[in-house]
Structure 1
Amino acid sequence: MRAVGIGAALVATLVGVVVGFYALAATVLARVEVEGQPAGRDGVEIFVCTNGVHTDFVLPAVSRVMDWTTELRRGDFPGADPWTTHFSFGWGDRAFYLETRRWEDLRPGTVLSALFGGGPTVMHVYALYTPAGSPDCGALILREGQYRALVDYVRGSFRRDGGGAVRPLPGSGYGPTDLFYEAVGRYSPIDTCNEWTGKGLRAAGVTVGAWTPLEGGVMRWVR
């Protein structure tokens, strides 16, 4: 029994060391600047928003660069207001997203599966009104070329059918204004939902940290 106790203590110590190293690396590398283009005064306004754990892009529904209504069917968002101005896009682990609709639904098994399972991913899309002024969001002005690069990045994260259309998961939304779509890529402790956001910012030429697996590592650059 004593040997079992010692073994459990060693495992707990090892886990603590790994978690501590991960947190340290996430903190340090999120502060290592990957310099982008100088901020512009004219262009497309986008938002990066957080719920305290996860970050999303919030992009205009229609702009000169991209009309998202040509890819996202209005019928997918039956409760959306007619004055919807933006869509939010968040990428992540499919099981975690679909099985954790409220924080009280969170289960250890779901967390472990998301971290180590490398399972399929989804894109979560909300139809909404502009979040301008929200304390949960940071606003950025992107030049047209920057925004086009970000749009290409987000579009490339959707899994598509043979005709190039996005692949919705009917009935998967939390309510009538959101829906999940099949996505490409695998979730891992390295490629997290927040690192997906960080990669998008880097693709658009926005100054951001070298690795941003945690939401704070993203939001410190956009607020």
Structure 2
Amino acid sequence: MKKTLRLLVKMILAVLIFVITYVFFALVIPYIPVNTKDVDPQEDVTVYIRTNGVHTDLVVPIKTEFKDWSESIKFSHIKSQDSTMQFIGFGWGDKGFYLDTPEWSDLKFSTAFVAAFGLGSSAMHSTFYKKINESKDCVKIKISAQEYNNLIAYIEEKFKRDENGKPILIDATTYGQNDSFYEAKGSYSFFYTCNTWANNGLKAMNQKAALWTPSDFGIFQHYN
């Protein structure tokens, strides 16, 4: 009985130490900036970072001379099928969390546990917009052609693809009329979250970013 009690105490202490250490680094490391100097000041393409208060999306124009996203992320994949959309947002995350938790009230312990410890698969959430309004939660960034090509490659690399090289659409309930889900590579975890993925996207295009961040705050503090 005593051995069991000591083991239980050690387990609780280990969990507490992990949580305290994680929270400490999650609060401190995002303050360490990267790419503070714009090495390529050309302004060929306008992109955005957008947060809903928890999750960060990378938002890009649907059609440019460099890429037409509607060729693979099709208007026919969204409920509205509205081809007048001008922008598309990409957000990577845990598949179970995305599909099973449309509202925070729907969150289950099992879903959170699987996501937190990297035990699940992932999905790419794509959202179409007719226009983008700048705000504290939506920041405009002007980048060069090369930087945008880097971002294109970064986003495309995360999609799983079928035998024809097309993103694999997930037949699932969406959040609205203008979004869709696709199978993606990798696993979400405490250390590699949806915001970590978006932050790394900023790094890929040599824009201001945190050294590492699990939160949207870690990204937006460098822009607001």
The question of a shared fold, defined as TM-score above 0.5 by the shorter chain, is answered with yes
Tell me by how many angstroms 1:35 deviates: 2.1
Tell me by how many angstroms 1:117 deviates: 4.0
- SS of alignment partner, residue 170 of structure 2: coil
Q: Deviations over 1:92-122 (max 9, x none)?
A: 0111111101111011221111011431100
User: Which residue matches 2:97?
Assistant: 96
- SS of alignment partner, residue 114 of structure 2: helix
- SS of alignment partner, residue 97 of structure 1: helix
Q: Deviations over 1:4-34 (max 9, x none)?
A: 7776565444323211211211222212222
Residues 42, 117 of structure 1: alpha-carbon distance in 2 compared, 3 angstrom cutoff: closer
User: Which residue matches 2:52?
Assistant: 51
If the length of structure 2 is used for normalisation, what is the TM-score? 0.90
Question: Is the Cα–Cα contact under 8 Å of residues 139 and 222 in structure 1 kept in the other structure?
Answer: no
Question: Structure 2 matches for 1:40-189, cutoff 5 A?
Answer: 40=41, 42-189=43-190
Distance 2:14 2:95 in 1: 28
Tell me by how many angstroms 1:3 deviates: 8.1
- SS of alignment partner, residue 199 of structure 2: helix
Q: RMSD across aligned C-alpha pairs, in angstroms?
A: 2.1
Question: Is the Cα–Cα contact under 8 Å of residues 31 and 218 in structure 2 kept in the other structure?
Answer: yes
Q: Deviations over 1:118-157 (max 9, x none)?
A: 3110000111122222332111111110011001100111
Distance 1:178 1:15 in 2: 38
**Gaps in structure 2 of 5+ consecutive residues:** none
Distance 1:184 1:110 in 2: 18
**Gaps in structure 1 of 5+ consecutive residues:** none
If the length of structure 1 is used for normalisation, what is the TM-score? 0.91
Residues 75, 8 of structure 1: alpha-carbon distance in 2 compared, 3 angstrom cutoff: same
Distance 2:131 2:9 in 1: 50
- SS of alignment partner, residue 113 of structure 2: helix
Q: State the percentage of identical aligned residues.
A: 31
1:200 paired with 2:193, answer: no
Question: Is the Cα–Cα contact under 8 Å of residues 49 and 56 in structure 2 kept in the other structure?
Answer: yes
- SS of alignment partner, residue 88 of structure 1: strand
Q: Deviations over 1:140-177 (max 9, x none)?
A: 11111001100110011110011110100123422321
Question: Is the Cα–Cα contact under 8 Å of residues 92 and 193 in structure 1 kept in the other structure?
Answer: yes
User: Which residue matches 2:20?
Assistant: 20
